[in-house]
Homo-oligomer: A and B are copies of this chain.
């Protein structure tokens, strides 16, 4: 064992685009003592989480929607789409707005998809005409949209793109990668006619990482049930999890693989807090936080990766370094001031920008002063 000891250093403000800062209630719930996943205490907690997810995603209207909570990173949701909905050789269309769209495409190919990719220019969103033309060209089993690409901070116009897909390719299933948007951006699962939303706990949902969060439409479940080839995996098979999720929502014990009990308690604490106020207030708070950060940085002469404000995420900001500065000139100095931001990630320009997350309690509990601390630290570091 190395000499590194388990010493918790003074906590630094975590403002990367996930994991985010967690509330004390959430951390307390994550320290719940050992509890059986079949316990009468735990079953309603799991059931509540599934019900609350339907609320957060506005997915209560179509009764055959099915939420899934499975131990894993957000990435596991891509595998779920590939393994359950793609049969080898089927066509998929990926609308990419950064690193995560590219990776989603790689994942679908691992499950045998023939992937067509429309890659937006860096900081931009896919062009409508191009999307329509491609949709008319081929029949796509699945079309994916990255709602907020964490590498660029671009917010795709998901409702608009879903409408285009419904109009020009009504049989396609629409999968929204919402890892970096659930609970920080509005997602209308039913109204937009989405078939899959994939997410994770450590961003807008405000709980520690380690839980894959997925909502699936009845149409997608039916597609799964009608597939001719076997599902492309075991742990990730919705067929195996479906009875378990239904049982938890019905208040009954069930087992396929051990759920991450403590994380479910933590998510329960966070979802309870999220739903204690109208969701519209929550989204407005994220918009206000985003405007504060972007206005403040603009006034420092900084500019952003997204090409327009209208396509910039409300839960994070991707900021270009001023000319002559690179990550090592800025990030370590911010960390010295107790502020942890993230480096760039998009391969084409990783060294040229950095990223600030403003999701969850950092955006909603403005009395914490997180945003002012971030802006103050950036200002001080850049002025040197």
Per a CB cutoff under 8 Å, which of B44, B110, B235 touches A2? Answer: B44
Q: Are the CB atoms of A110 and B233 closer together than 8 Å?
A: yes
Q: Are the CB atoms of B30 and A258 closer together than 8 Å?
A: no
Smallest CB–CB gap between A283 and chain B, Å? 19
Contact residues of A between 12 and 44, Cβ < 8 Å to B: 14, 16, 18-22, 27-39, 41, 44
With both beta carbons as reference points, the residue of chain B lying nearest to A82 in the complex is identified as: B234
Q: Are the CB atoms of A236 and B73 closer together than 8 Å?
A: no
Q: Are the CB atoms of A83 and B259 closer together than 8 Å?
A: no
1/0 per position for A173-190, CB-CB distance to B under 8 A?
000000000000000000
Contact residues of A between 216 and 237, Cβ < 8 Å to B: 230-237
B residues less than 8 Å from A52 (CB atoms): 1
For the complex, is A304 an interface residue (Cβ under 8 Å from B)? no
For the complex, is A260 an interface residue (Cβ under 8 Å from B)? yes
1/0 per position for A255-285, CB-CB distance to B under 8 A?
1111111110100110010010000000000
A347 to B34 alpha-carbon distance, docked (Å): 26
Smallest CB–CB gap between A43 and chain B, Å? 9
For the complex, is A11 an interface residue (Cβ under 8 Å from B)? yes
Per a CB cutoff under 8 Å, which of B45, B74, B262, B340 touches A258? Answer: B74
* Given contact pairs A4-B45, A6-B29, A27-B31, A260 touches B36 in the complex (Cβ within 8 A): no
B residues less than 8 Å from A235 (CB atoms): 72-73, 75-76, 78-79, 107, 236
Contact residues of A between 186 and 216, Cβ < 8 Å to B: 200, 202, 208-211
B residues less than 8 Å from A35 (CB atoms): 14, 19
Please classify the interface of chain A as helix (H, G, I), strand (E, B), loop, or mixed, using the class held by over half of its residues: loop
Smallest CB–CB gap between A36 and chain B, Å? 5
Per a CB cutoff under 8 Å, which of B18, B30, B71, B211 touches A30? Answer: B30
Listed in ascending order, the chain A residues whose CB lies under 8 Å from chain B are: 1-2, 4, 6, 8-9, 11, 14, 16, 18-22, 27-39, 41, 44-45, 47-48, 51-52, 55, 70-76, 78-79, 82-83, 106-107, 110-111, 200, 202, 208-211, 230-237, 251, 255-263, 265, 268-269, 272, 275, 340, 342, 345
30 of the cross-chain contacts (CB-CB < 8 Å) are: A1-B272, A2-B44, A2-B48, A4-B47, A8-B41, A18-B258, A19-B258, A22-B33, A30-B30, A36-B340, A36-B342, A37-B209, A71-B72, A72-B235, A75-B235, A76-B235, A78-B234, A79-B234, A79-B236, A107-B234, A110-B230, A110-B233, A111-B233, A208-B262, A209-B260, A210-B211, A232-B233, A233-B233, A260-B260, A260-B263
